[in-house]
Amino acid sequence: MKYIDWNPSIDIEPPVYIDANIFVGAIIRGHNLYHPCAKLIGNLLTNQSHILVSLISVEESLWALTRQSYCDLMNQAPNASFTRNAYKKWCAKIFATYGSTRIGVVSSMLRDWSNAGLQVEVIPKTEELWNHVLNLAPLYMEKCELFPADAFHLALAETHAKTFITADSDFASVPNKLSAIDLVILHVVKESLSTKSS
Protein backbone atom coordinates (compact mmCIF):
# COMPACT_ATOMS: atom_id res chain seq x y z
CA MET A 1 0.00 0.00 0.00
CA LYS A 2 1.21 3.49 -0.84
CA TYR A 3 0.18 6.88 0.48
CA ILE A 4 0.95 9.64 -2.03
CA ASP A 5 0.21 13.35 -2.11
CA TRP A 6 -1.61 14.05 -5.36
CA ASN A 7 -0.33 16.37 -8.02
CA PRO A 8 -1.66 16.77 -11.56
CA SER A 9 1.22 14.82 -13.12
CA ILE A 10 0.41 11.60 -11.23
CA ASP A 11 -1.19 8.81 -13.27
CA ILE A 12 -4.20 7.49 -11.41
CA GLU A 13 -4.88 3.81 -11.77
CA PRO A 14 -8.59 2.96 -12.01
CA PRO A 15 -10.96 1.98 -10.61
CA VAL A 16 -10.88 4.87 -8.18
CA TYR A 17 -12.88 5.07 -4.97
CA ILE A 18 -13.60 8.68 -4.03
CA ASP A 19 -14.07 9.95 -0.49
CA ALA A 20 -16.83 12.47 0.26
CA ASN A 21 -14.35 15.23 1.03
CA ILE A 22 -13.23 15.24 -2.62
CA PHE A 23 -16.76 15.62 -3.97
CA VAL A 24 -17.55 18.35 -1.47
CA GLY A 25 -14.13 19.96 -1.95
CA ALA A 26 -14.77 20.29 -5.69
CA ILE A 27 -18.33 21.59 -5.37
CA ILE A 28 -17.77 24.26 -2.71
CA ARG A 29 -15.41 26.97 -3.89
CA GLY A 30 -13.18 29.41 -2.06
CA HIS A 31 -11.34 27.08 0.34
CA ASN A 32 -7.76 25.96 0.09
CA LEU A 33 -8.51 22.52 -1.39
CA TYR A 34 -10.96 23.73 -4.02
CA HIS A 35 -8.52 23.95 -6.89
CA PRO A 36 -6.80 20.60 -6.37
CA CYS A 37 -10.16 18.86 -5.87
CA ALA A 38 -11.65 20.47 -8.97
CA LYS A 39 -8.58 19.69 -11.07
CA LEU A 40 -8.48 16.12 -9.83
CA ILE A 41 -12.13 15.63 -10.76
CA GLY A 42 -11.38 17.27 -14.12
CA ASN A 43 -8.56 14.82 -14.75
CA LEU A 44 -10.70 11.82 -13.78
CA LEU A 45 -13.49 12.93 -16.11
CA THR A 46 -11.03 13.68 -18.91
CA ASN A 47 -9.61 10.17 -18.64
CA GLN A 48 -13.09 8.70 -18.27
CA SER A 49 -11.86 6.85 -15.21
CA HIS A 50 -13.95 4.15 -13.65
CA ILE A 51 -15.35 5.88 -10.55
CA LEU A 52 -16.62 4.05 -7.48
CA VAL A 53 -18.86 5.61 -4.87
CA SER A 54 -20.52 4.30 -1.73
CA LEU A 55 -23.54 5.30 0.26
CA ILE A 56 -21.18 6.41 3.02
CA SER A 57 -19.62 8.98 0.66
CA VAL A 58 -23.03 10.23 -0.37
CA GLU A 59 -24.23 10.39 3.24
CA GLU A 60 -21.15 12.37 4.30
CA SER A 61 -21.67 14.71 1.35
CA LEU A 62 -25.26 15.29 2.40
CA TRP A 63 -24.12 16.14 5.91
CA ALA A 64 -21.44 18.47 4.57
CA LEU A 65 -23.77 20.44 2.34
CA THR A 66 -26.37 20.59 5.10
CA ARG A 67 -23.75 21.84 7.52
CA GLN A 68 -22.54 24.45 5.00
CA SER A 69 -26.13 25.58 4.52
CA TYR A 70 -26.69 25.80 8.27
CA CYS A 71 -23.55 27.93 8.70
CA ASP A 72 -24.60 30.25 5.87
CA LEU A 73 -28.08 30.50 7.28
CA MET A 74 -26.77 31.37 10.73
CA ASN A 75 -23.96 33.51 9.33
CA GLN A 76 -21.45 31.37 11.15
CA ALA A 77 -17.96 30.26 10.25
CA PRO A 78 -17.76 26.93 8.37
CA ASN A 79 -16.13 25.21 11.32
CA ALA A 80 -18.90 26.24 13.72
CA SER A 81 -20.46 23.56 15.86
CA PHE A 82 -23.15 21.61 14.06
CA THR A 83 -24.90 18.84 15.95
CA ARG A 84 -27.73 16.48 15.18
CA ASN A 85 -29.89 18.54 17.52
CA ALA A 86 -29.11 21.68 15.54
CA TYR A 87 -30.03 19.82 12.39
CA LYS A 88 -33.36 18.73 13.85
CA LYS A 89 -34.11 22.25 15.00
CA TRP A 90 -33.22 23.98 11.74
CA CYS A 91 -33.98 21.25 9.21
CA ALA A 92 -37.11 22.88 7.79
CA LYS A 93 -35.42 26.25 7.43
CA ILE A 94 -32.31 24.73 5.85
CA PHE A 95 -34.36 22.89 3.26
CA ALA A 96 -36.65 25.85 2.63
CA THR A 97 -33.61 27.98 1.83
CA TYR A 98 -31.17 25.56 0.24
CA GLY A 99 -33.03 22.32 -0.35
CA SER A 100 -33.52 22.72 -4.07
CA THR A 101 -30.14 24.22 -4.88
CA ARG A 102 -27.63 22.61 -2.58
CA ILE A 103 -28.39 19.62 -0.47
CA GLY A 104 -28.74 17.07 -3.24
CA VAL A 105 -26.06 18.45 -5.50
CA VAL A 106 -23.62 15.54 -5.08
CA SER A 107 -26.39 13.08 -5.91
CA SER A 108 -27.31 15.13 -8.99
CA MET A 109 -23.70 15.37 -10.04
CA LEU A 110 -23.15 11.61 -9.85
CA ARG A 111 -26.34 10.99 -11.80
CA ASP A 112 -25.33 13.53 -14.46
CA TRP A 113 -21.86 12.01 -14.75
CA SER A 114 -23.45 8.66 -15.38
CA ASN A 115 -25.89 10.11 -17.92
CA ALA A 116 -22.96 11.76 -19.72
CA GLY A 117 -21.48 8.32 -20.31
CA LEU A 118 -18.99 8.15 -17.46
CA GLN A 119 -18.56 4.90 -15.61
CA VAL A 120 -19.88 5.59 -12.14
CA GLU A 121 -20.58 2.56 -10.01
CA VAL A 122 -22.01 2.14 -6.53
CA ILE A 123 -20.20 -0.28 -4.26
CA PRO A 124 -20.25 -2.83 -2.72
CA LYS A 125 -21.06 -4.65 -5.93
CA THR A 126 -21.96 -8.08 -4.60
CA GLU A 127 -23.08 -9.70 -1.40
CA GLU A 128 -19.77 -11.52 -1.21
CA LEU A 129 -17.83 -8.27 -1.38
CA TRP A 130 -20.20 -6.68 1.11
CA ASN A 131 -19.51 -9.49 3.57
CA HIS A 132 -15.82 -8.95 3.03
CA VAL A 133 -16.22 -5.23 3.78
CA LEU A 134 -18.22 -6.03 6.90
CA ASN A 135 -15.37 -8.18 8.16
CA LEU A 136 -12.62 -5.73 7.32
CA ALA A 137 -14.10 -2.52 8.73
CA PRO A 138 -13.84 -3.45 12.45
CA LEU A 139 -10.37 -4.84 11.85
CA TYR A 140 -9.26 -1.53 10.36
CA MET A 141 -10.84 0.37 13.21
CA GLU A 142 -8.69 -1.57 15.63
CA LYS A 143 -5.49 -1.86 13.63
CA CYS A 144 -5.38 1.65 12.18
CA GLU A 145 -7.37 3.46 14.88
CA LEU A 146 -9.80 4.72 12.30
CA PHE A 147 -13.31 5.96 12.93
CA PRO A 148 -16.03 3.58 11.68
CA ALA A 149 -16.83 5.58 8.54
CA ASP A 150 -13.14 5.82 7.61
CA ALA A 151 -12.66 2.11 8.27
CA PHE A 152 -15.54 1.41 5.89
CA HIS A 153 -14.07 3.74 3.25
CA LEU A 154 -10.79 1.89 3.45
CA ALA A 155 -12.44 -1.54 3.35
CA LEU A 156 -14.58 -0.54 0.39
CA ALA A 157 -11.56 0.87 -1.44
CA GLU A 158 -9.45 -2.18 -0.72
CA THR A 159 -12.06 -4.63 -1.94
CA HIS A 160 -13.07 -2.75 -5.10
CA ALA A 161 -10.48 -0.18 -6.19
CA LYS A 162 -6.87 0.33 -7.17
CA THR A 163 -6.81 3.92 -5.94
CA PHE A 164 -8.51 5.55 -2.98
CA ILE A 165 -8.70 9.34 -3.27
CA THR A 166 -9.18 11.35 -0.11
CA ALA A 167 -8.31 14.64 1.54
CA ASP A 168 -8.27 12.99 4.97
CA SER A 169 -4.80 12.81 6.49
CA ASP A 170 -5.99 10.22 9.04
CA PHE A 171 -5.06 7.59 6.45
CA ALA A 172 -1.39 8.64 6.42
CA SER A 173 -0.33 5.98 8.89
CA VAL A 174 -2.34 3.18 7.29
CA PRO A 175 0.36 1.91 4.87
CA ASN A 176 2.67 1.22 7.80
CA LYS A 177 0.04 -1.03 9.37
CA LEU A 178 -1.43 -2.63 6.25
CA SER A 179 1.57 -2.79 3.95
CA ALA A 180 0.52 -5.95 2.09
CA ILE A 181 -2.63 -4.43 0.62
CA ASP A 182 -2.58 -3.54 -3.09
CA LEU A 183 -4.01 -0.04 -2.92
CA VAL A 184 -2.76 3.49 -3.52
CA ILE A 185 -4.13 6.14 -1.18
CA LEU A 186 -3.97 9.40 -3.07
CA HIS A 187 -4.06 12.27 -0.63
CA VAL A 188 -5.26 15.64 -1.93
CA VAL A 189 -3.44 18.56 -0.35
CA LYS A 190 -3.10 22.28 -0.88
CA GLU A 191 -1.41 23.01 -4.20
CA SER A 192 1.68 24.45 -2.56
CA LEU A 193 2.19 21.18 -0.70
CA SER A 194 1.44 18.81 -3.55
CA THR A 195 5.00 18.58 -4.81
CA LYS A 196 5.90 16.44 -1.79
CA SER A 197 5.01 12.78 -1.59
CA SER A 198 5.58 10.07 0.94
Partner 1 sequence: MSVTTPTREYIAKIESTGLTQEPSQLSVTYRQRLTEATSIIWQQLDDILRHSLESSGFKQPDSLLTRKHTLAPKPIEMVVVAPGIIVRSSEYEERFGGIELDEYRKRMSPEVFEVFVRYIGSIPGRSTLDVGTITAIPE
Strand arrangement of the beta sheet that strand 120-123 belongs to: 2-5, 184-187, 163-166, 16-18, 51-54, 120-123
Nearer Cβ to partner 1, position 153 or 160?
153
Closest CA to 170 of 139, 190, 149, 194: 149
Query: Which amino acid does the sequence have at 163?
Result: T
Minimum gap (Å) between residue 114 Cβ and partner 1: 9
Nearer Cβ to partner 1, position 109 or 181?
109
Q: Does 121 bind partner 1 (CB under 8 A)?
A: no
Q: Does 35 bind partner 1 (CB under 8 A)?
A: yes
Calpha distance 109→102 (Å, rounded):
11
Do the Cβ atoms of 156 and 17 come closer than 8 Å?
Answer: yes
Classify residue 106 as exposed, middle or buried by CB count within 10 Å of its CB (0-12, 13-18, 19+): buried
Minimum gap (Å) between residue 184 Cβ and partner 1: 20
Calpha distance 176→81 (Å, rounded):
33
Q: Does 113 bind partner 1 (CB under 8 A)?
A: yes
Minimum gap (Å) between residue 60 Cβ and partner 1: 4
Interaction residues for partner 1, span 168-197 (CB under 8 A): 168-169
Interface contacts to partner 1, rule CB under 8 A = 19-22, 24-35, 37-39, 41-42, 45-46, 48, 59-61, 63-65, 67-68, 77-79, 82-84, 86-87, 102, 105, 108-109, 112-113, 115-118, 149, 167-169
